[in-house]
Amino acid sequence: MTRCRRRGSPPAPPPPLEDDDLLREILLRIPPQPSSLPRASAVCKRWRCAAVDPKFTARFRAHHGKPPLLGFFQRRDDGIVFAPVLAAPDCVPPERLDLRIRVADSESEAHLLGCRHGRVLVFDVARAEVVVCDPITGEQRRVAVPPEFKTGQVNGAVLCADRGQGHVHGGCRSSPFKVVLVFMRSHDHRPLACVYSSETDTWGHLIPTEAPHPGSACCGGAQSILIGNVLYWPLKHAKYGILQFDLDRQSLDVIETPLGMNVPRNHDIVQAEDGTLGLTILSHHYHNIQMWQRKVNCQGVATWVLWKTTEMHDILGLSPPTEVVKRGVELILGYDQDANEMLLYLGGTVYIVQLKSMQSRKLWESQHVTACHSFNSFYTPGE
């Protein structure tokens, strides 16, 4: 008689969270807030090994794409300070991102020009240098500006120069960068731009506009926005307009703006919902926010089109209209391009307003009416 031999049973699959690949896929989808990965790491040793692995960290950032808004940098009488916007446990303490810039023993000489791709750009007036800061690591790089930019009101922008496939902005600490400075030349009222490359450690040639723009000046400290590979800054004074610098074409132009931009801090350039150049105008008279969009018609002519008007009392989360009117001051302080959110100052209170949903939340009470520059970056406590 022949005995039947039973085949060995296949090994049982590991429990779901014992599968390292599946665990990484789960961790990949947690929010990119500062506390997310540290809290996951605290579960057990296996989770920690997965969460701190450099290859996983790169995938995690690539999966989320846009880094979170950690807060805003602003220039005050006591220097350039960081104001966090996230609640605990994600709130980054202001002292953690202290730039620690001392310019000729007087911080009033430090002009904040902008933040982008995890870096902050400061203009040291006394030394005629720009300072490119990485607040996360504390690293700083000083670059002497061209002679033409040593006097007058200067604005500028810093941006990552890494165009490699798969590169994610917001953790660009070892990547090359560019600095773009803009300036209004006084003798012929012609805007100028100049580009610095960290890869060559040199400034390029001066790039003027084709025509002068008398009666205007660069809006020092006003935040720029980047759409595609084009930078935009607001102009101020008699003829309000927008400076447009095309990084690919290396060209500088001035765009005229709609009527109604005759009051400082009542407007800001934004990115419209279709990805084109947009503009917000805060009307003190009508107590509303107008949203304009720059459209190109079939003849190739660009014009401004009013696409949305929102009454202030329709913005969820703002103080009642009677309180706002009583307090008086209404200003636009800044704009976070990644989240399409605007900072509003209403008589001593700063709110952040989501421009698509028109919902707001209160950030802080303040008597400092200064421009705020959004700082977006991937950050893990302990970095």
Note the pLDDT of residue 107.
46
Q: How far apart are CA 318 and CA 351, in angstroms?
A: 7
Residue 316 is classified by DSSP as B
More confident position, 28 or 221: 28
Mean pLDDT of 40-67: 89
Between 265 and 122, name the one with better pLDDT.
Answer: 122
What does residue 369 show for φ and ψ, rounded to 5 degrees? Answer: -95, 80
| Residue 11: pLDDT over 80 | no
Predicted pLDDT at 348: 85
Is 353 a residue whose pLDDT tops 90?
yes
Q: How much is the average pLDDT of 280-293? A: 86
Enter the pTM of the model: 0.88
Three-class SS of 218-262? ECCCCCCEEECCEEEEEEEECCCEEEEEECCCCEEEEEECCCCCC
- Scan for tokens 């030349």, then name that residue: 185
pLDDT tops 80 at residue 363: yes
In degrees to the nearest 10, what's the CA dihedral of 164, 170, 175, 177? Answer: 100
Proportion of the chain above pLDDT 70, given as a percent:
84
Structural domain boundaries of the chain? 17-56, 65-376
Region 241-259: mean pLDDT is 91
**pLDDT value at residue 130:** 95
Separation of first and last alpha carbons in the chain? 72
Least confident of 54-63, 204-213, 232-241, 299-308: 232-241
CATH code of the domain occupying 65-376? 2.120.10.30
Structure tokens at 88: 């605990």
The Cα–Cα gap between 30 and 97 comes to: 24
| Higher local confidence (pLDDT), 367 or 231 | 231
- Over residues 328-334, mean pLDDT: 83
What pLDDT was estimated at residue 316?
Answer: 85
Residue 243 is predicted with a pLDDT of: 92
**Strands 129-134 and 154-160: what pairing?**
unpaired
Q: What is the mean pLDDT of residues 304-319?
A: 89
- Report the residue count for the chain: 383
- Confidence at residue 93, expressed as pLDDT on a 0 to 100 scale: 93
Distance CA 172, CA 154 (A): 25
What backbone torsions phi and psi does residue 150 show, to the nearest 5 degrees? -80, -15
